[in-house]
Structure 1
Amino acid sequence: MSTGKKPTLYAVEAIPAGRLVALVARIVGVELDVKPIDLYAKEQLKPEFIKINPFHCIPTLVDTDGFTLWESAAIASYLIQSRTPNSDLYPAKDLKKRLTIDQFLLYNTGTLYRSLTDVHYAVFQGTDPVPKVERLKEVLETVNSFLEGHKGQMVAGGDKLTLADIALYVNLSYIEVIKFDITELAALQKYRAQVKEALAPYNVNGWCEQQQALLIKLLADFKVKFAEDQAKAKTQ
């Protein structure tokens, strides 16, 4: 339990979920004490972490008063509402806007992120990726079609950045990881550029690009370690 001056974040910031929380913290002016978790070493399963989060998932936030929260969207929403409740990111006084943001947060996690990572896992595990690629294509085309009709607005409406846009943006970074071609999805490309520009003041020293490079390296290293462990298992 943290009782320090900074909230403690247990996370891998390069992973989209960790990146979301870190970006929101920057926007609302919260300095975090980030404790990196080595997933391959299964640090999330160690007894000391299980005491903090019995569900052993990251990111996990422990605020300065000991309040503990997990799931990236919940943590990001909490940081906004507890520090800047009148922020356009998740406006306290606009119920319909908040519910629209929630709608996209749920879609982002349940549909978009899953379709992106399913392709990666299929390739990683050596299974047939074609069905997963077709599903991802369908999902991204749906998002692109929505954005075309939205006429340059952010997903929750208007030109103000919201939590939904940040969450979608960080998950869409997986497109580069799996090298998926979106050249025909003009509205999606434009939207990503639009959100990137809105986040520019918080992307100090190219932090977002650094995290993206770390994510690609992390997943490549993970694949090598996985292959080594599989080879060792076959010889035993």
Structure 2
Amino acid sequence: MSKARLALTGGGPLVVLTGAGMSAESGVPTFRDARTGLWERYDPTALATPEAWERDRDTVWAWYRWREHLVGAARPNAGHLAIARAAAGRPVVVVTQNVDDLHERAGSEQVHHLHGSLFDHRCDACGTPIEVEEPAAEPVSRLAPPECPRCPGRARPGVVWFGESLPVQPWESAVDAISAASAVLVVGTSGLVYPAASLPALAADCGTPVIEVNPGPSGLGSEVTLHLRATAAQALPALLAP
């Protein structure tokens, strides 16, 4: 821990790259954990595609609204809060693969969602942001998406589906942040999902120390300066303490 703290020391910008393991201790259901009750017969990956949306918008919208409800019931854990507190002493940029809003709810202000957000709904035709009501507490099998106020389109989830490209602005912001970072902290990511998995290597190419926090074996390679086998809530409060 002391070596990791030393590597992260300094007043320069800190970039925190987070994956699913970041939110696990908050009780955020994984993609398949939300496959309960009336959703048991569905393959979640089959619902997360543009083709599924074109085929049956009402079913896909109902599924994502149920996920919103489950995620909304979760709370930021000690790791989220530690990252937010660290911004009091230095610039901190969060780059996340997660589609939840726990970093924002913990108090982090600079958050770039590489895979979009469950809560940023937009028109499926013109891309206009659309405000929607809070999701119901009970799941339904079908639900019509709200109409777009500007065109005949419908509201869709603001996430990146399989087969879709990453949103340009968050990706470019992530690359810029990595290029300017004095240290990079990688938390709870498998290192298998590209292009997000290429960011630690970009940091290493810049000579920037890369600290990984993951309770299992490292999901990264030689780009890792130090690997701490711990969960986010276990390690980050001490690792990022002033």
More relative contact order, 1 or 2 (CA 8 Å, 6+ apart)? 2
Provide TM-score, normalisation by structure 2: 0.30
Answer 1 or 2: which has greater strand percent: 2
